[in-house]
């Protein structure tokens, strides 16, 4: 599940990960308006579904539409990635989304996008800053150059591990 502000690079990341042009991207915010579901099959990994959500505020049906959509897809407690622009750590809307996501699933992590726009030294600083803001693993990536894709695949694999069973499901 990919969550993030409009234009942060969710659809581009799906294309970069799969090395295919399957998700439609645009320089204009608001390209993705519905939840788009892709079945991803990789060597040595069981196939899984990847969901590309609209950016906050851009879902068909407005914010109610987004809430409905998000509740629907999160009902299955999926692994979820919050995508944030590496150049803008800790935005209010991102933090709000993180609160919501971590309440909805125990498998959440942060991806810093567009890392190619930062100089080397700034990348490390931005990644550390994000780690402290979200207190979670942060993988820096660029859909443009393909940097970070292997690390991201590893993160996805680790998030997709079977969930720990609750001892008492009624507790
Ligand atoms: P919505 O569908 O509107 O929610 O946006 P999105 O998050 O799916 O963003 P999208 O993938 O459509 O990308 C938005 C813009 O950012 C496009 O112009 C992309 O080319 C650009 N972009 C995405 N990823 C990167 C990246 O890693 N580096 C750079 N330089 N540009 C990127
Ligand atoms: Mg999109």
CA-proximal residue: ligand 1, atom 10 (nearest) = 9
The Å distance, Cα 171 to ligand 2 centre, comes to: 39
Cβ neighbors of 128 (< 8 A, separation 6 or more) are: none
Q: In this predicted structure, which of 5-9, 42-46, 130-134, 150-154 has the lowest mean pLDDT?
A: 42-46
Distance (Å, rounded) from C-alpha 150 to C-alpha 91?
26
Alpha-carbon torsion angle 160, 65, 39, 75, nearest 10: 40
Q: What is residue 108's predicted lDDT score, i.e. its pLDDT? A: 94
As a whole number of angstroms, the distance between CA 33 and CA 23 comes to 12
Output the CA angle 152-67-86, nearest 5 degrees. 35
Q: What does the pLDDT look like over 32-57, one tens digit per residue?
A: 888 899 999 888 777 889 999 888 87
pLDDT at residue 72, rounded to an integer: 86
Question: What tens digit of pLDDT does each residue of 56-74 get?
Answer: 877 788 888 888 888 888 8
Angstrom distance (rounded) from CA 47 to CA 40: 5
The whole-chain average pLDDT of the chain stands at 89
The residue-averaged pLDDT of 66-88 equals 89
In percent, how much of the chain has pLDDT > 70?
94
What pairs with residue 111 in β-bridges? 83, 139
Ligand 2 is a single-atom ion; what residues have CB below 5 A from it? 10-11, 31-32
Rounded CA-CA distance 58/68 in Å is: 13
Q: pLDDT at position 52, please?
A: 92
């Amino acid at each position: 599940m990919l969550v993030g502000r409009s234009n942060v690079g969710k659809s581009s990341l799906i294309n970069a990960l799969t090395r295919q042009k399957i998700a439609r991207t645009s320089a204009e915010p608001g390209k993705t308006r519905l939840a788009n579901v892709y079945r991803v099959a990789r060597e040595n990994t069981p196939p899984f579904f990847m969901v590309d959500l609209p950016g906050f505020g851009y879902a068909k049906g407005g914010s109610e539409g987004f809430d409905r959509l998000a509740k629907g897809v999160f009902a299955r407690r999926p692994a979820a990635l919050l995508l944030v622009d590496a150049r803008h750590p800790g935005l209010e809307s991102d933090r709000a989304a993180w609160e919501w996501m971590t309440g909805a699933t125990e498998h959440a992590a942060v991806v810093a996008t567009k890392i190619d726009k930062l100089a080397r030294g700034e990348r490390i600083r931005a990644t550390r800053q994000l780690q402290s803001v979200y207190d979670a693993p942060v993988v820096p990536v660029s859909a443009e150059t393909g940097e970070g894709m292997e690390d991201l695949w590893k993160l996805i694999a680790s998030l997709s591990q079977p969930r720990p069973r609750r001892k008492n499901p009624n507790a």
